Each structure stands twice: as C-alpha cells, then as structure tokens.
Structure 1
Amino acid sequence: MRRGVLRTGFVGWLLLAGGCGNVNPAPYEWKLPLGFPDPAVPEDNPMSTAKVELGRRLFYDKRLSANGTQSCASCHRQEYAFTDGRTTALGSTGEHHRRNSMSLANVAYAASLTWADPVVPDLEAQALVPLFGTHPVELGMAGQETLLLQRLSEDARYPKLFAQAFPEQRQPVSMASVVRAIAAFERTLLSGGSPYDRYTYGDEVDALSPSAMRGMKLFFSQRLGCLHCHRGFAFSDSVKHKLMAFPEVTFHNTNLYNVDGHGAYPATDQGLAEFTGKPEDMGRFRSPTLRNVAVTAPYMHDGSIATLSEVLDHYAAGGRACAQGSGPSPYQSEFIQGFTLTAEEKQDLLSFLESLTDTKFLTDPRFSDPFASTP
C-alpha cells in the first residue's frame, strides 16, 4: 500500500504546484457513442480541445523517455486498440515487465487503472507511473523532471501549446500540466462503433452475422456466465462514470495458476494480494474490457494465453490450472465454474467476440501519431 500512497501524494503535490486548473477556455465537445454515459472528469482537470491536442502530442513524444527511445504509444499502439502485441511490456531501457499492456479503449470509464493496483485514483496519477517508475523502468524519467521540462520548453511548438491549454498557469510548461494533458487525451479514446454497437444501439439488423448473433446469446447466457465480469457498455465490471455515486472496483481470480494445489500463484505476480496481504486476494486481477479483444492478443495479466480460442478453453475448463490437472483453487471466482461448448458454439462465440472490433477506432486520425505527418 505504501507505494500507492506515495504516488497519490506525489501527484497531489504536482497538481497543487501547477495551480487550481479551473479555467477552461475552449470546452471539449464529447461525441459519445450511442449507449455511453458521460465520463467522470476531475474538477481540477476540465476537458478542453487545446488540452486534448497537447496531450495527444505528449502521448506520442519519445522525448518523454530519458533516452528518447519510447513514448506512451510504444506500449499502447492504436492498431492494437492501444495495447502493444507483446506478451509483456518492454521498457525504454530494455527491461521486460511482468505484465501485459492493457488496452486504453474507453479508459475514461475504468474504475481501476492497472491489472491489480487498487490505489491509483485517476489517469493523472497513473501517468506518473510509466514516467517515473523504477521497478520496472518504463520511460525512465525518475529524477530527471528538469530535463523533461527543458526538452519541452526548448521545442518550437510546445510553449505555445501549453499556454493555450493552461492559460491560467503562470508557468504553463510543468509536470502538473504534462500529466493533465496526457490524461485528457486518454479520456477521448472512446470505442463504440463495432458491429455489436451498430446492432445493439444503432438498430442495424444486419450488422451481426448469424454466427455472431448465436455467439452473443451464448455470451450473455447464464450457462457461460461471461456477463458477470464483462458487462454493460464497457464490457467490464470495473467501471465509473458521471452518473455513478461510487465506482465499481472489482478483481477476480480465474484459476489461471494453482502452483501448489492450494491456490498459489507464481511468486513473481500474485495480484491484488501483493497490496492487501490477504490470502483470499491471491491471483485476483481486474477484468479488462473485451472491446476490440480480437486485436489485443496475447491475453491475461501475463500474456500467457496466445489466442482467443485458448482463452475460451481456459474458461471452459474452469481455469487453466484445472485443465493442467492442478484442480480448482480455493480462491477462484464463483463465476469460474466451467462449461462445455460444441465446435459450432465455440466458433459462434469467437464470431461474437470478433464483432466487438471497432475498425474506425483503430484508424481514427484523432487518436493517431501527430508526428507521423509533421516535418
């Protein structure tokens, strides 16, 4: 818990140092997909068009890493629904991480922002982790805040962009402004134009194939129980939005591992238990969104399942540990009960999961690399 408290305290200090942040010269116009509620936006970081565009540049700028080799987008690539296609992430210094990069699709609605950390309160605080974290190293800027601000201040465009985004700040180019802008951009990464959405919210009766239709009925059936952890517009059960009094924050053990026959996970990553110290939190991780899941392989917190077909095998067996002979875990979720599928049913379910792919989101120029077309 201590590391999380320190991170939260640090971002609080940054935001206090940066000023009140209550001026919003050009409000951002949300164009929410049908069926989506208004996102919850912190009062001290209101959305604006200028702030979002600044955040987009910062998100793709490799000068935010100490050695100039990586940006936020290095681990969150648009064509992969802002994942990276790797088993586990790779930091700017070449350090391999222990976890798979999560999708940023609809991250504005995420009530928890990592696989198993319950104490990162918002996207502003989360942005500090890749920037300044030391274990593992991601962007590697720990202790080099002055260098980062110098790089940005000496750029021909950034001082003006920061001043437009944060006109109330005496010194617009600041760490507080950097994390606020990145968070603002990330909140715009909304994905809600898949065939499933067009069928469900747009009344396009032909948007889903007959196979995907059958798979949708299977997905939302009590027999399979997928809807318990992947529900609603977000296809996740860890959700927050403007209409909610309190966010839903949940973590689950899917019996991916049972290394000792008593529910233990590998010592390298034991999930929520690392923060709470509670045995019952062994192997509990956040349920990621299933939107665009067909392009976000490999799967699970450690990227240890290569394909969607294998993911279905995992849940059908009541957890991979059961399939490998280790048996059920005393800590596994009550929703992991196992089920049987015919070959046709499995294909139908895969067709439905593929129907959650929002191809426009994967190519939308509003979310693309601004440096790719900049001389």
Structure 2
Amino acid sequence: MAMNRWLMILALLSLSCTDDTTSEVEKSGTFDWDEVLPGHFPKPKIPADNPMTYEKVELGRHLFYDTRLSGNQTQSCASCHVQENAFSDPRARAVGSTGEVHPRGSMSLANVVYASVLTWGNPLMVELEDQMLVPLFGEDPVELGLGAQEEVLGRLSEDPIYEDLFERAFPGEGITLVTMTKAIGSFQRSLISAGAPYDRYQAGESDALSESEKRGMDLFFSERLECFHCHGGFSLADAVTHEGLVFDEPSFHNNGLYNVDGFGAYPPENGGVFEITGILEDSGRFKAPTLRNIAVTAPYMHDGSLETLDDVIDHYARGGTLTEDGPNAGDGAQNRFKSEFVNGFELSESEREDLLNFLRALTDEEFLNNPAHSDPW
C-alpha cells in the first residue's frame, strides 16, 4: 500500500514537470459556471473572499477524500458524503471517526452552493467555510475528531502533492486552516446536479419523461399534494440563495414526524431549530432538503427513520407519522406545530406509482458518476 502510494506521488510529480500538464489540474483560472449550469439554473452567490477557481476546486477534491483530515486518519469528508449516494450517507445516522453514532444523517451536498442555510436545524450556519470547522473539530458529537489545527496542517505539509496544489490554488499563502477550508468549500460548491431526466424535460426535451413520470410531476406540483411548497423551484428545495435574489430563503418546517408528549415535542436529541432558539414553536422544525437524486439518498428524514420512498409517501399521505410504542410514541399528525402544508391526501395505486416514477426521474446519473467529483487518491 505504501509503495503504491509513493509510486503515485512520483507519477504525479513527473506529470507536473512536463510542459503541457499541470499536476491533476486540467483547467486553470476562474471557474466557468456556464460550463456546468443549465439555462434554468441561476448563477450562484459566491463569497467575495473566496472566488472560485479550478485550482481551488482540485485542491478541495483532494482534501475532501483525504483521511488525514480525521484525528485517527480513518475517515474523510467523503466517508459520510458518498458520491454514488449524491454525496449523502447511506446510513440512517452518521458515524464519526471514533465510532460515535450521531443523532442525524448526513445531508446531500448536491447543489449545496445554493443553500441559504446549512445542516438540518441551525439557522446560523450559512457559510461552508464556517460549517467545515464543525466536522473537523467538533466534540459533540465527534465527527472527524481533530484535536488541533497543527495536527492536520503538519500532515498535509509533509506531502509534496499538497505543496504543489496549495501553491497553485493560493499562491504565496501556504497550507493553513483558512486555505484548507476555502478549498474544500470551493469543491463543494462545484457539486452541481442538473442532468436528471426532469432537467432535460425542463430544457425542452419533451420525451425525457415518460407519461407516468409526467403524471407524477403534475401530482407533485399540485395543491392537492402540496409537495412543491417545501420542495419547489430549480433546486427542489426552499432554503435557497443565488445572485439576483433579494432575500435569502432560510426555511425550516415541522412535518409531523413526531409528537412524543402530545404537545408537539420531538425526541430530545433531535429538537430541530428549537435547540438553537429555545422557542417552543421551533420544536421539530428542520430544513427541507433538496429532492434531487432522492431515490439514491435513503433512508429519509433527519434521523433516517423512514426507510423507503413508499414510507415517505405514507407519512405525508397520513399527514404525519404514528409511532405506536417506545420512547418516541405519539401521533405526529396531531403535532400542534406541524406545517400547514402537511394535511394528508389520498392516492390511488396508479397515482402512487406515477409519483414514485417522477421522484426517480430526479436522479442525475452523470452527477453520481462524474470523475471530476470522484476520489483522486
């Protein structure tokens, strides 16, 4: 394993010395959004202190997949954000580098550049560079479990690959926590998913969706089901930001998943926005994630408590989940803080199949297999 790694390093270094190859960075300079965005996507809003370049994205890709970013060198960012699962976690709840099971699952990073708020229930977390510090150094729960920044910076500084990549991305700035988090943020912002059959249909390809998928789309965007109120627009989410938007949309909702005390409470380790604000009405309010690639991001909800898309449809058709026994027993449909859009509905078997087919048509196979987003190691 070690010999193979050094052979790879030598190969990369030899490539970087040739006249027509720039290490692994095939493009250079300012990131061209026109190359990755379809016409129905707005231009993202990028932090002024971290403009996007191809060099930053490539450096960030290396860091994203590098297990040296965890204290015990067993996990990387990609351990909980898996490309084939749209950069989400196939586990119901994330597991940190020390084996600690987290209360929530890892959200998909597809189109995270458009997210006006990050994480399931923190309205204060709005920048990727700031959010990155939580998995790196957070202790409750432990994620990557770094003790101090010197630990990871020392490891990276010993690798000649990073000496080259950091210099290309941040000339003269060196390997620092700031440059590291800016690079990872740039890579995450490059994760654009816009090639699903639904997108091709939006672009005018009338046969990109089957007749069943079109019927399912009509159901999805109907006032009868009301899915689109929380999962609408180009991002199929409502907490979005982009250039030209006057007001960002940080939205959280109580969808009636729990009602453990009969008065609207959620399980104590998963109170939603209430954990930040202390406002009772914020109990159980969580971010509505994008539904892009939803067929490959099971299990569902913040705690992975619904295993399949059928279970999700059952939840919303009933107007909330009934938990009959155990510590979380209660009728979510009766939660007094539940969103006004979660009222229940009836579906025939054929309508259910149409809706499921539409949700499956949100899968972007190119995104799930794009080598530009894959593990460079």
TM-score (norm 1): 0.90
1:151 to 155, 166, 171: 155
Q: What's the secondary structure of 1:157's corresponding residue?
A: helix
1:98: which partner in 2? 103
Which digits, 9 at most, give the CA deviation of each residue in 1:219-241, with x for residues without a partner? 00000000100010000010001
Where structure 1 has 5 or more consecutive residues not aligned to the other structure, the ranges are 1-24
2:311: which partner in 1? 310
Q: Give the whole-Å Cα distance in 1 for the aligned partners of 2:250 and 2:149.
A: 32
Q: Give the whole-Å Cα distance in 2 for the aligned partners of 1:291 and 1:269.
A: 24
Q: Give the whole-Å Cα distance in 2 for the aligned partners of 1:312 and 1:348.
A: 12
Q: What's the secondary structure of 1:218's corresponding residue?
A: helix
Alignment of 1:365 onto 2:367 = no
1:184: which partner in 2? 186
2:137 to 132, 135, 138: 132
Say whether the 8 Å CA contact 2:86–2:368 is kept in structure 1.
yes
Say whether the 8 Å CA contact 1:294–1:308 is kept in structure 2.
yes
Say whether the 8 Å CA contact 1:255–1:321 is kept in structure 2.
no
2:207: which partner in 1? 206
Which runs of structure 2 are paired with 1:273-292 in the superposition (5 Å)?
Answer: 273-292=274-293
Q: Which moved more, 1:351-360 or 1:133-142?
A: 133-142
Q: Amino acid of the residue matched to residue 256 of structure 1?
A: L
Say whether the 8 Å CA contact 2:217–2:358 is kept in structure 1.
yes
Say whether the 8 Å CA contact 1:111–1:247 is kept in structure 2.
yes
Q: Which moved more, 1:324-333 or 1:298-307?
A: 324-333
Question: Could you tell me how far 1:34 is from its partner in structure 2?
Answer: 2.9
Q: Give the whole-Å Cα distance in 1 for the aligned partners of 2:317 and 2:146.
A: 43
Q: Give the whole-Å Cα distance in 2 for the aligned partners of 1:52 and 1:215.
A: 37
Q: Give the whole-Å Cα distance in 2 for the aligned partners of 1:322 and 1:205.
A: 42
Question: Could you tell me how far 1:214 is from its partner in structure 2?
Answer: 0.5
1:27: which partner in 2? 30
Question: Could you tell me how far 1:321 is from its partner in structure 2?
Answer: 3.4
Q: Give the whole-Å Cα distance in 1 for the aligned partners of 2:88 and 2:198.
A: 21
Which runs of structure 2 are paired with 1:15-164 in the superposition (5 Å)?
Answer: 26-30=29-33, 31=35, 32-142=37-147, 144-164=148-168
Q: Give the whole-Å Cα distance in 2 for the aligned partners of 1:277 and 1:345.
A: 41
Q: Amino acid of the residue matched to residue 253 of structure 2?
A: H
Cα RMSD for the two superposed structures = 1.3
Q: Give the whole-Å Cα distance in 1 for the aligned partners of 2:157 and 2:218.
A: 54
Q: Give the whole-Å Cα distance in 2 for the aligned partners of 1:166 and 1:321.
A: 53
Q: Amino acid of the residue matched to residue 260 of structure 1?
A: D
Q: Which moved more, 1:279-288 or 1:314-323?
A: 314-323
1:15: which partner in 2? none
1:166: which partner in 2? 170
Alignment of 1:271 onto 2:277 = no
1:347: which partner in 2? 353
Q: Give the whole-Å Cα distance in 1 for the aligned partners of 2:357 and 2:126.
A: 35
Q: Give the whole-Å Cα distance in 2 for the aligned partners of 1:153 and 1:47.
A: 23
Which digits, 9 at most, give the CA deviation of each residue in 1:293-315, with x for residues without a partner? 00000000000000001100000
Question: Could you tell me how far 1:325 is from its partner in structure 2?
Answer: 6.6
Q: What's the secondary structure of 2:84's corresponding residue?
A: helix
2:16: which partner in 1? none
Q: Give the whole-Å Cα distance in 1 for the aligned partners of 2:265 and 2:51.
A: 43
1:21: which partner in 2? none
Which digits, 9 at most, give the CA deviation of each residue in 1:183-219, with x for residues without a partner? 0000000000000000112x11111111111100000
Q: What's the secondary structure of 1:115's corresponding residue?
A: coil
Say whether the 8 Å CA contact 1:321–1:328 is kept in structure 2.
no
Q: Give the whole-Å Cα distance in 2 for the aligned partners of 1:367 and 1:147.
A: 26
Q: Give the whole-Å Cα distance in 2 for the aligned partners of 1:47 and 1:99.
A: 30
Q: Amino acid of the residue matched to residue 337 of structure 1?
A: N
Where structure 2 has 5 or more consecutive residues not aligned to the other structure, the ranges are 1-27
1:237: which partner in 2? 238
Question: Could you tell me how far 1:322 is from its partner in structure 2?
Answer: 8.3
Equivalences, count: 343
1:257: which partner in 2? 258
Question: Could you tell me how far 1:245 is from its partner in structure 2?
Answer: 2.6
Runs of 4 or more consecutive aligned structure 1 residues displaced over 4 Å after TM superposition: 322-325
Q: Give the whole-Å Cα distance in 2 for the aligned partners of 1:246 and 1:149.
A: 37
